[in-house]
């Protein structure tokens, strides 16, 4: 009997800014480079490229594509992990994807990130743990970056 897959990573932050500005934080390369990656190439349409690159603390590139996108509502893109998890996560195809949903709330816009596709086993648990900390840090960077961009 196969082991149960691991639960998705689910992280949420609330950002008190307009929807289009927050959505642009995920779809406009110059903004993505302000909080998520050192480099970004984004073709903002379903099937378009979603390529992110980092030089530190480890050099890697996540080469994905936009699986779904509704302006100012959500974006879903495939994800390839860093070198230490590449053989596990990236071959033969990216096995995980990142879904981001934006929703109005009394305090602002709730940004919910769900990273799904985690299989079972210790190696998958290690990969999931690394990504949980990565996304938690980056979503808080997104909030700080957008507020600084809006208000200086």
**Domain-embedded: residue 142:** yes
Instruction: For tokens 């903002």, name the residue.
Output: 44
**Contact (CB, 8 A) for 49 and 32:** no
Euclidean distance between CA atoms 128 and 37, whole angstroms: 19
**Domain-embedded: residue 62:** yes
Our count of domains for the chain comes to 1
**Domain-embedded: residue 1:** no
pLDDT tens for each residue of 3-53: 899 999 999 999 999 999 999 999 999 999 999 999 999 999 999 999 999
What CATH number does the domain containing 57 carry?
3.30.530.20
**Domain-embedded: residue 104:** yes
**Domain-embedded: residue 119:** yes
**Domain-embedded: residue 2:** no
Give residue 84's domain range.
Answer: 9-151
**Domain-embedded: residue 4:** no
pLDDT tens for each residue of 94-136: 899 999 999 999 999 999 999 999 999 999 999 999 999 999 9
pTM of the model: 0.94
């Amino acid at each position: 009997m196969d082991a149960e897959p691991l639960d998705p990573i689910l992280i949420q932050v609330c950002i008190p800014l307009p929807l289009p500005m927050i959505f642009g934080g995920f779809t406009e390369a110059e903004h993505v480079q302000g909080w998520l990656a050192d480099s970004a190439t984004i073709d903002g349409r379903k099937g378009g490229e979603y390529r992110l690159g980092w030089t530190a603390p480890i050099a890697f590139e996540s080469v994905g594509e936009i699986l779904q996108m509704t302006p100012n509502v959500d974006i879903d893109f495939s994800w390839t992990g860093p070198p230490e998890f590449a053989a596990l996560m990236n071959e033969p195809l990216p096995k995980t994807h990142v879904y981001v949903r934006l929703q109005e709330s009394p305090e602002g816009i709730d940004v919910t990130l769900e990273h799904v596709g985690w299989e079972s086993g210790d190696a998958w648990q290690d990969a999931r743990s690394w990504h949980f900390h990565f996304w938690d840090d980056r979503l808080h960077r997104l909030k700080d970056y957008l507020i600084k961009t809006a208000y200086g």
